[in-house]
A and B are shown apart, each in its own frame.
Chain A
Amino acid sequence: MNRRAIRRLASNVMVGLMVLAVVLAVLPLFFILLHLVLKGASSLSWDFFTKMPVPAGETGGGVANAIVGTLIIVGTASLIGVPVGVGAGIYCAEYPHSRLTWLSRFVADVMNGTPSIVVGVFAWTWIVARQKHFSALAGSVALALLMVPMVMRTTEEMIKLVPNSLREAALALGYPRWRTSLSVVVPTTLPGIVTGTLLAVARIAGETAPLLFTALGSQYLSFRINQPMAALPLTVFTYATGPYEEWHRFAWAAALVLILVVLLLGVGARLAIGRSSVANG
């Protein structure tokens, strides 16, 4: 074989190896989804969604308290995190040369890379240690802290996409700055901001570590954010690492529900961006 043919062969071998890498990379995804469905779907029942957990070791019951708990904790976190994130994002986009903008962006990047368990410890020292009891609120605060940098970044990027001519048109009509932002700029990018928010919510909905010693988890249904509360990721963790077969089955089912929620939020986010008027207009 001449040199050129050998080099060709080498090139093709490398491509073959790379295709193998792709296959290996995507394989776990299929297996995880497959096992989730195989092992979890059979436990999904009306009871699963509506009943409370039964005492350890017994069969039956459900994870209704965890589903409600996740809704409350994630909802509260969003109530805190979204306004702060969107507000900070609008500020950074409208005043790009301000020093505060530079500082906020830098800090947001640092927070994005911070392990969620560290944020959980922070929430613990700030709220749980001072109040001397665990609470869903502390968990929500930890999740909100994780959410804010994400929402801030996407909001800022979306607002920057709005052409300056639109702002000028509003200002030329005599609009004050605040009205320009709220009546013209933000509505134009609203689909993008919603997408960013939904993606951030999807991320925090699956977080377990920050809740381990803030919301703590609970066997009971609770609506009080000042007390421990169950949450779906916590349920998966507790049941998966527990000794009972029934728990293991429920862990799979709960994980399946969790994945479905995360995927649905992600799909919802993509649909929102499809209707962006900035992209179309």
Chain B
Amino acid sequence: MAEPTPRVETDKLTAMYGKTTALRNVTLSFASNQVHALIGPSGCGKSTFLRTLNRMHELSEGGWITGRVLLDGQDIYDPGVNAMQLRRKVGMVFQRPTPFPTMSVFENVAAGLRVNGRLSGSQLADIVERSLRHAALWDEVKDRLKVNAMALSGGQQQRLCIARTIAPSPEVVLLDEPTSSLDPQGTQRIEELLFELKREYTIVIVTHNMQQAARVSDTTSFFYLGAMVESGPTRQMFTAPRSEQTEAYITGRFG
């Protein structure tokens, strides 16, 4: 049986900032509708890797890559590709919640929808509601849609950012340590959310919390010092890792 094309693939991806190499020769593939975790100690390159997947890496000072990154088999770094359109297909949620402070809850969720042409008021409202439901936030804000987004709690703001990211129906959702600034309840809400979200989207999540990776992901990739050391199904990675470094990290001997 032929394997379907993985949703996201990288092929000998090397990422640099100016002359400094942050990632060397990473070849990975991520299947659809799964949660893929990237783990590793601080500074190992996992966030840099994530940012190459939606071409945010090149927005950093001196950021550039060699190698390929493929979305559904198409090289996203092809010169003909519109980076902005790409980012509408590959969304990103950041470490700290970043709702747009001058906009209401509704406006924040709708923010990504306004770029691609006009939608009628009712279409907009439908999508906003759907996104908020998917982000497990609808019940808490349905009476407060016009309230300024900064009035929400930290955990709610992060779920709002998730709703904002999925509103334009991306194919892939990237999350960069999305729960590191939240309390345990907020963290749990978002982890539960990931189980729901993977039904519609392909998820790649960077986390420095190994237990989180073990809880939520289908596959895990271990990064260390700019190289991708090992990657595989999560259960296998955590019970029988092949590499000594992986085992050392997972058992807490460093990082």
A residues neighboring B (CB under 8 Å): 163, 165-166, 168-176, 179, 183-184, 187-188, 190, 277-278, 280-281
Contacts and interface: CB of A to CB of B under 8 A. Distances in A.
Nearest to A190: B102
A187 to B, nearest CB: 4
Contacts of A190: 102
Interface stretch (B35-43, B88-96, B130-138, B190-198): B88-96
B189 interface: no
Query: Nearest 6 CB-CB pairs, A to B?
Result: A174-B88, A169-B98, A172-B92, A174-B87, A173-B112, A281-B101
B59 A168 contact: yes
Contacts of A174: 84-88, 112, 115-116, 168
Given A173-B164, A174-B85, A277-B102, A168 B56 contact: yes
B111 interface: yes
A165 B96 contact: yes
Contact of A173 (B101, B102, B111): B111
A173 B165 CA distance: 7
A250 B31 CA distance: 82
A280 B151 CA distance: 11
Interface of B: 54, 56, 59, 84-88, 91-92, 94, 96, 98, 100-102, 111-112, 115-116, 150, 161, 164-165, 168
A31 B101 CA distance: 45
Contact of B91 (A166, A172, A184): A172
Contacts of B86: 174
B161 A169 contact: yes
B212 to A, nearest CB: 21
Given A188-B102, A278-B101, A173 B91 contact: yes
A7 B112 CA distance: 69
A187 B104 CA distance: 13
A45 B165 CA distance: 61
A173 B94 contact: no
Given A173-B112, A175-B84, 16 more contacts: A163-B98, A166-B101, A169-B100, A170-B100, A172-B92, A172-B94, A172-B165, A173-B111, A173-B164, A174-B85, A174-B87, A174-B112, A175-B115, A176-B115, A188-B102, A277-B150
B90 to A, nearest CB: 9
A172 B172 CA distance: 12
Contacts of A176: 84, 115
Contacts of B101: 166, 188, 277-278, 281
Contact of A172 (B85, B87, B96): B87
A170 B165 CA distance: 10
